Amino acid sequence: MNMYWLAKNVIVAWRCRSTTSDAVKRLLLWYQHKLPESLRRREFSIGYRYAKPIGRVQLLMRANLGSDVFIHSEVFEHCYYALGLRATPRTILDLGANAGFTAVYFGRLYPNACIACVEPIPENVRVLKRNLVLNGVHADVVEAAIDTNDGSVRMQLHAKDYGHTVARDANSHNARGLDVAAISMPTLLDKLQWDHIDLLKIDIEGHERVLFSGECAWLQKVETICIECHDGFEAELPDLAQRHGFDVPIRLPGIWLIQRRTAIAGCPTTLSESSD
| 25 and 97 assigned to the same domain | no
Question: Structural domain of residue 3, as residue ranges?
Answer: 1-79
Using the 3D structure, point to which of 43, 59, 79 is the last residue of a domain: 79
> What pLDDT is recorded for position 110?
98
pTM over the 0.85 mark? yes
**Cβ-proximal residues to 272 (8 Å cutoff; 6+ apart), any chain:** 87, 88, 90
Helix (H, G, I), strand (E, B) or coil at 268: coil
| 165 and 237 assigned to the same domain | yes
Handedness of CA 149, 153, 158, 160 (dihedral sign): positive
**Is 162 among the domain residues?**
yes
| 34 and 93 assigned to the same domain | no
> What pLDDT is recorded for position 107?
98
**Is 241 among the domain residues?**
yes
Using the 3D structure, point to which of 79, 95, 120 is the last residue of a domain: 79
| 70 and 92 assigned to the same domain | no
**Is 138 among the domain residues?**
yes
**Cβ-proximal residues to 73 (8 Å cutoff; 6+ apart), any chain:** none
> What pLDDT is recorded for position 26?
96
Residue 179 contacts residue 147 (beta carbons within 8 Å)? no
**Cβ-proximal residues to 80 (8 Å cutoff; 6+ apart), any chain:** 74, 252, 253, 254, 255
| 60 and 88 assigned to the same domain | no
> What pLDDT is recorded for position 273?
39
| 156 and 234 assigned to the same domain | yes
**Cβ-proximal residues to 151 (8 Å cutoff; 6+ apart), any chain:** 181, 182
Helix (H, G, I), strand (E, B) or coil at 11: helix
Phi, then psi, of 43 in degrees rounded to 5: -160, 160
> What pLDDT is recorded for position 240?
96
Residue 225 contacts residue 257 (beta carbons within 8 Å)? yes
Helix (H, G, I), strand (E, B) or coil at 159: coil
| 51 and 135 assigned to the same domain | no
Would you call 23 exposed, middle or buried from its count of C-beta atoms within 10 A (0-12, 13-18, 19+)? buried
Q: How many domains are there within the chain?
A: 2
Q: What is the mean pLDDT, run by run of 10 residues, along the chain of 276 residues?
A: 82 93 95 89 97 97 96 96 95 98 98 98 98 98 97 95 87 74 98 98 96 94 97 96 97 96 53 41
> What pLDDT is recorded for position 9?
85
| 17 and 85 assigned to the same domain | no
**Is 172 among the domain residues?**
yes
How far apart are the C-alpha atoms of 90 and 82, rounded to whole Å?
A: 16
**Is 275 among the domain residues?**
no
How far apart are the C-alpha atoms of 238 and 261, rounded to whole Å?
A: 13
> What pLDDT is recorded for position 1?
66
| 225 and 252 assigned to the same domain | yes
